[in-house]
Amino acid sequence: MAVPPYAIPPKPVLFTIEAILQSNFLWWLAGRYTPIIRRLMGIPRKLEGRISAEDENFATHLMASFLPIRLRAKGIIHDIRVTNPDLNKPYPLESLTTPVLIFHAKDDPWGPFAGAEKIAARIPGVHFEAIESGGHLLLGHRKGVRVKIADFIRTHSPN
């Protein structure tokens, strides 16, 4: 998920993203021969060549799982143009009563870490997990994240 402050990408970037999302072939081609799809998936440039084979395999399969991308294009474009910018509104997070667990990597290109910290600070009893690196997909931390999610669910389950 993106975090505030969120800005709609500049028109040339948005045009490129929308063109790729409208074509299964362009998505596949860009994913196979350029880093564009990796950036769209929130993998920071500095992680290239530094992630494990397991995480590389995960990222590759995740990108491929988006095919056929054309079927998802309208929803993704809506997120970019409408849903994500809506996060800039001052929602009453202080009134949440449900347990909340947030993970955010400091190098996530889809939202500044400071934005995630501000959101977390407004939620009563939040459990905020700061992750040093790993981008939007939390590469290098997926196993630990799954363990923490399972522990969180066990801790807050009524049974």
- Inter-residue contact 81 to 34 (CB < 8 Å): no
Q: What percent of the chain has pLDDT over 70?
A: 99
Report pLDDT for 3: 87
Q: What is the pLDDT of residues 98-145, one digit of tens each?
A: 999 999 999 999 889 999 999 999 999 999 999 999 999 999 999 999
Q: From start to end of the chain, where are the E strands? A: 101-105, 127-131
Q: What is the pLDDT of residue 114?
A: 94
- Mean pLDDT, residues 9-17 taken together: 93
| DSSP assigned state of 81 | I
Q: Phi/psi class of residue 138: alpha, beta or left (left: φ > 0; alpha: ψ in -120 to 50)?
A: left
63 half-sphere exposure, CB direction, 13 A CA radius: 25
Residue 22 has pLDDT above 90, yes or no: yes
* 41-43-48-54 Cα dihedral, nearest 10 degrees: -80
Q: How confident is the model at residue 60 (pLDDT cuts 50, 70, 90)?
A: very high
- Which residue in this structure is represented by tokens 């630990």? 144
The residue type found at 148 is K
The mean pLDDT of 44-53, rounded to a whole number, is 94
From CA 84, how far away is CA 47, in angstroms rounded? 25
Number of H helices, E strands in the chain: 8, 2
